[in-house]
Amino acid sequence: MNIYYFELSNVVFNLNLTLISDYISVVFGGLLLLIVGSVYLFGGFYMFNDSNVVRFFFILSMFVVSMVVLIYCPHIIFVFVGYDGLGVISFILVVYYGSSSSWVAGIKTFLINRLGDGLFLFGLIYLLIGNLEILNISYSVSSVVLICLILGWSTKSAQYPFLSWLPAAMAAPTPVSALVHSSTLVTAGVYLLIRFSNNLGNSFQILLISLGLITLFVASFCACVEMDVKKIVAYSTLSQLGLMVYTLGNGLIGLCYFHLINHAIFKALMFIVVGYMIMSNFHLQDLRLLNSLLLNNYFLFIIISVSVMALSGFPFLVGFYSKDVIIESYFMINILQQMLFLGSLIFTSFYGLRLIIYLGNLNYPINITTINISFSYLSCLGLTTLILFWGNWFSWWYQNNSFISFNFKMGVLFLIISGAVWMLVSGRLLVGLNTRWLYINLSYINNLNTHNLVKVFSNVGTYYSNYLDLGILKAINSFVDINNVSVNLNSQLKFLGEFNLSYWVWISLVLVLSVLLL
């Protein structure tokens, strides 16, 4: 690991700037620039008719610069600058279109990320007293600091229960989604956790295991019932982030980093193909309304099929070399974790096959547009090549001590795929998932996050405005006014009354799982 030191000084301050060039930063930074190049090729076509395309690419470039600073500068101040820059610029990109739905999604994204940034900043207050280098932080860091840092970084990586902002961020243009979900915003938290993993004790590893496993299970299940094609890919990102955090919590740092790299490759490719598909369908995103991708563009259908197979861990693709070792590593864990872990992998194969089957249907193309995107195929070819060969080239990063036979692995994979196909053909699973009694999706988390966060900030702003504009008597009166109290109570009761029995079943299930995982 090479560390380069630069000194910036003047009369006011003296600052030592450190640049790190170990394999973690160099490989991740190089892959980031490769993905950025592919996304820029795709974005140039996707945003061709936008009147503010220059401004869009300028903002997107600032987004990339923030991630580069986060990767190569281990200095705490620069880490926070890059980390905070990702959150602020992501809000600007989410509200880029300026519609009401974009503003709602942007505010939710901004508030939840501000919560994580606040926890991160609170932890930095203690760290700045002793050491400014994140690589040299003492092993005896306070537990409060560790909790703040872990929760702050987990918020940026959309771990449970802060995961509702990531599907909402799909209001941004698709090129932004390709960057956010592959190698920038959501991976920033996991990247910092990898850098800081040597300072974690057993108790904090259990916290990461619980957060990661619950996120993995919830997100993969939600993707099975979602019909918005961009949100399906977003939920798949959530599930893979949960898998990374779960792997990191079990002490497999190198394997977590390897899967982080592999995921960035096939997830960027998935979003690029989805973007082309949305463009050719007049920006429709509902799977039930999309026309056959196989019938209209077999090249893109083949590419997205390859990326979905890589997501599912199909043999000899990039996802296989990391997920296969992860599954083997957890073969001896307790039965509850095995059930949740393997169930999540089955859901991953299921929603991947479900996506391919919907896109490969042979319905007559009614609303298809005729666009020439052949020149932008370059944005897909490079990432497709990496999917085919990257895992084999760089599998030497970890020790692959396999104790499960190859035939057994293929048999399990065959059973998972066969079961998913059978459930799709029979239609029984989707019927069961849509029952009102146990309709499990992120709507409850959306309501809780939106209501609690937005309501708190709204109340603070209201009382602050009353105190400044109308005087202290108005502020006091607002607290003791019986009418206001009754209205607030009625609104709270109405909000709680909207949740049916399935909400309480779901919350109870999450609490029980959290206790059992400890």
Model confidence over 143-187: pLDDT tens digits?
667 777 777 777 777 777 777 777 777 777 888 878 777 777 788
Q: ∠165-166-167 over CA atoms, to 5°?
A: 100
- Reply yes or no on whether the pLDDT at 395 is more than 80: no
- Which of 140, 168, 199 is the C-terminal boundary of a domain? 199
Question: Residue 371 has what pLDDT?
Answer: 52
Model confidence, pTM? 0.73
Query: In sequence order, what DSSP letters do the residues of 273-337 get, joined into one string?
Result: HHHHHHHHTTT--BTTTPPPHHHH-HHHHHHHHHHHHHHHT-TTSTTHHHHHHHHHHTTTS-HHH
Query: Is residue 7 in a domain?
Result: yes
Query: In sequence order, what DSSP letters do the residues of 40-69 get, joined into one string?
Result: HHHHHHHTTT-TTHHHHHHHHHHHHHHHHH
Closest CA to 71 of 115, 35, 42: 35
- Reply yes or no on whether the pLDDT at 9 is more than 70: no
- Reply yes or no on whether the pLDDT at 192 is more than 70: yes
Number of domains in the chain: 2
Query: Is residue 435 in a domain?
Result: no
By three-state DSSP, how is residue 7 classified? strand
Q: CA–CA separation, 516 vs 518, rounded Å?
A: 5
Query: Is residue 24 in a domain?
Result: yes
Query: Is residue 28 in a domain?
Result: yes
Question: Residue 442 has what pLDDT?
Answer: 47
What mean pLDDT is predicted for residues 483-494? Answer: 44
- Reply yes or no on whether the pLDDT at 140 is more than 70: no
Q: At 14, is the pLDDT very low, low, confident or very high (cuts 50, 70, 90)?
A: low
Query: Is residue 509 in a domain?
Result: yes
Q: How high does pLDDT run on average in the chain?
A: 69
* Containing structural domain, residue 506: 443-517
The rounded percent of the chain whose pLDDT value lies above 70 is: 62
Query: Is residue 381 in a domain?
Result: no
- Reply yes or no on whether the pLDDT at 236 is more than 70: yes
Report for 38-42, 136-140, 180-184: range of highest mean pLDDT: 38-42
Query: Is residue 371 in a domain?
Result: no
- Which of 199, 225, 249 is the C-terminal boundary of a domain? 199
Query: Is residue 27 in a domain?
Result: yes
Q: CA–CA separation, 113 vs 189, rounded Å?
A: 11
- Which of 184, 199, 214 is the C-terminal boundary of a domain? 199
Closest CA to 323 of 395, 275, 271: 395
Answer for the pair 198, 235: CB distance below 8 angstroms, yes or no: no
Q: CA–CA separation, 109 vs 102, rounded Å?
A: 10
Q: Express each pLDDT in 241-275 by its tens digit.
A: 888 888 888 777 888 888 888 888 888 888 888 88
Structure tokens at 233: 């890919």
Question: Residue 432 has what pLDDT?
Answer: 40
